[in-house]
Chain A
Amino acid sequence: MTDPLISAEALGRRFSTGGGWLRPARSMMAVRGVSFQVDRGEVLGVVGESGCGKSTLARLVLRLIEPTAGRVRFDGQEVTGLGPGDLRRLRRRMAMVFQDPYSSLDPRFTVADALTEPFAVQGETPPAGRINALLDQVGLSEAMAASYPHQLSGGQRQRVGIARALAQAPDFMVLDEPTASLDVSIQAQIIGLLSDLRRDNGLTYLFISHDLGLVRYFCDRVLVMYLGAVVEVMPRADAAPRHPYTRALMDSNFVPDPTRRRTLQALTGEIPSAFDLPKGCAFAARCPRVTDLCRAENPELRELTPGHPVACHHPI
């Protein structure tokens, strides 16, 4: 294997809120020391509950927001240090698909306008036939080019979003919960489409979701996040979870098979506030395996078996 296509080193992002006249400024680390690599052609999944920093991580990777720590490399080039011009050129090679297909298209733009935008931004006009080719690629009819977003269904809009991401033929795509607001039937369509595109175009994906079942189905490796930090990286989708949190996520997944009903080892306790993280392990308050050590000391991410890092004092 050659170099990874993309790699992140100790990425961190701090947000401050309040700081108005009345409220003291509070700050929180939305992403804490996240490192990973994605190889060419690989799909890396990121799972975690709402607010754990998945979207922030996605934005950091594409440098849509500036990191407060760490750096990102894309194909050997350091993304974090690029000037505006270079960054814009680099953006041809990486693209993003957003969670909400309803607000990710400008309501005033026709589908054709939306698909022209990636070229316009780069100061180009799309080559003849390119728009139709893109529509074809995502399974939309060419007649749709003149439609406005409000005339499309959610699934169709998401296809347009994907086509827009594909416009400049990128190498790498960040998919931020691309199916979370769609019906399961449509989700399955979109996942199918994404698989086909990857197969045909040799794309590399960073796939974000809160659905562990889906991630394990779609991804090669899975990064599990909890409160901004990585708690486990599963080397294969079907690997057994070692972190109690991953385990809990897995148990929470409903299998469509009445013969395999699970009993749940209920998590107790509440998620700590990101503004006021406890000293030890962030998961300690809810963990069934918690000990005093967990409350006192934050576990480092370490490889239990090669290629399978886990941040837990008492891995399963």
Chain B
Amino acid sequence: MLLSVRDLSVRFGQVEPLSGISFDLDRGEILGLVGESGSGKSLTAMAVAGLLPLVSGRIAQGSVTFDGTDLTRLAEPELRAYRGRRIALVTQNPMTALDPAQRIGEQIDVVARLHLGQSRQGARATTIDLLTSLRIPEAAAISDAYPHQLSGGMKQRIVIAMALAGEPDLIIADEPTTALDVTVQAQIIHLLGQLVRERGLGLMLITHDMGVVAQVCDRVAVLYAGRLAETREAAPLFAEPRHPYTAALIGCIPREGMAPGSLAGIPGAVPSAAAYSAGCRFHARCARMQERCRTEVPLPALRPEGGALACHHPLGAP
């Protein structure tokens, strides 16, 4: 396994917005991390990348094993050697992800120079190759441009190039397309998929859109209110969702041929991290809620049919 997250919990002071998350990701694989807003997707990403201290959070418990090393045990300088080099990050909004005062090329070059020890010229050559491989026309001219001179889609490619420049093994992409237009969004998603296959990277793709997951992910982890609801391979997950929340999320996306009025939605809203209820956090919105769901936390358990599930009353069960 390239990345193994076990029982990960994140705390901010007394608040624990993320508890007991576990999932795996292998090379050449795309893991979709889905859930509604506030479910803890970004926190998971930050925890894996070791960036929690930046927002003054900390890992309270659990391990993040990357290529055999438990990152949670590393000191910041050691961790820094991983970041950018072996683990790269792509964030949601390309409009704000680049330093507006630095030329594009320099922002990409620095990764190869810092981590791969390349010379200025060497790094620039790498950068241009990289940009060309991302189908950016006139790569040389673009690398001399400033971020504000590029369109959003183009900028997101630059951010991806920046991620690739350290020749990483793992890319964490946190909603890389939500800020983009639909047509561009599709291109970026497909581009990421392609990169994973070509380069044998692991990709952790964070999204709230089950459609995206269905289109590109191999494996899915569904988060709800800071806990893992279900993880599984993508195809069976969509074919026969076991967690009521997974099913409901899928049901929220209109599909062709759907009868008007059949779009279900999920009643209620995600609770805030400071006000998590006892028991299953989804129980208030769940159609299958029983008494036990109110009081007892369903822990993720491995299932014979594959993946893990945290539900007292899964679908398909009596």
A residues at B contact (CB < 8 Å): 49-50, 153-156, 183-192, 195, 210-214, 216-218, 238, 248-249, 251-259, 261-262, 264, 266-267, 270-271
Cα A66 to Cα B213 in complex, Å, equals 43
13 more contacts with CB within 8 A, not counting A255-B253, A258-B234, are A185-B266, A188-B266, A210-B181, A213-B211, A213-B253, A213-B256, A254-B186, A254-B214, A255-B215, A256-B214, A256-B253, A257-B238, A266-B190
- Chain A residue numbers with a CB within 8 Å of B212 are 254
In the complex, what's the smallest C-beta–C-beta distance from A50 to chain B, in angstroms? 5
> Lowest 4 CB-CB distances: which A-B pairs, in order?
A254-B211, A188-B265, A217-B254, A252-B186
Cα A6 to Cα B257 in complex, Å, equals 28
Q: 14 A-B residue contacts at CB 8 Å? A: A49-B183, A155-B269, A184-B209, A184-B252, A190-B265, A191-B265, A211-B182, A212-B182, A217-B255, A218-B254, A254-B189, A256-B250, A264-B190, A266-B187
225-281 of chain B: CB within 8 A of chain A? 234-235, 238-239, 248-258, 260-261, 263-267, 269-270
Q: Is the CB of A256 within 8 A of B255?
A: yes
Cα A213 to Cα B260 in complex, Å, equals 13
Q: Is the CB of A195 within 8 A of B261?
A: yes
- Chain B residue numbers with a CB within 8 Å of A261 are 214-216
Q: Is the CB of B214 within 8 A of A188?
A: no
Known: A184-B252, A252-B182. A153 touches B265 (CB 8 A): no
Interface of A is mostly: helix
Q: Max chain B CB contacts within 10 Å: which of A153, A184, A210?
A: A184
Number of interface residues of B (CB under 8 A): 45
B106 located at the interface, meaning its Cβ lies under 8 Å from any Cβ of chain A in the complex: no
Q: Quick one: closest B residue to A213, CB to CB?
A: B254
- Chain A residue numbers with a CB within 8 Å of B269 are 153-156, 186
Q: Is the CB of B266 within 8 A of A192?
A: no
Q: Choose from B235, B256, B265 the contact partner of A189 (Cβ within 8 Å).
A: B265
Q: Is the CB of A251 within 8 A of B186?
A: yes
- Chain B residue numbers with a CB within 8 Å of A50 are 181
In the complex, what's the smallest C-beta–C-beta distance from B168 to chain A, in angstroms? 24
Q: Choose from A210, A214, A251, A266 the contact partner of B254 (Cβ within 8 Å).
A: A214
In the complex, what's the smallest C-beta–C-beta distance from A268 to chain B, in angstroms? 8
Known: A195-B260, A251-B186, A253-B182. A185 touches B252 (CB 8 A): yes
In the complex, what's the smallest C-beta–C-beta distance from A314 to chain B, in angstroms? 19
Contact with A along B66-95 (1 / 0, CB 8 A): 000000000000000000000000000000
Known: A255-B211, A261-B215. A189 touches B267 (CB 8 A): yes
- Chain A residue numbers with a CB within 8 Å of B253 are 184, 213, 254-256
Known: A155-B269, A218-B254, A252-B185. A183 touches B215 (CB 8 A): no
Q: Choose from B151, B186, B257 the contact partner of A270 (Cβ within 8 Å).
A: B151
- Chain B residue numbers with a CB within 8 Å of A183 are 36-37, 208, 270
B210 located at the interface, meaning its Cβ lies under 8 Å from any Cβ of chain A in the complex: yes
In the complex, what's the smallest C-beta–C-beta distance from B286 to chain A, in angstroms? 12
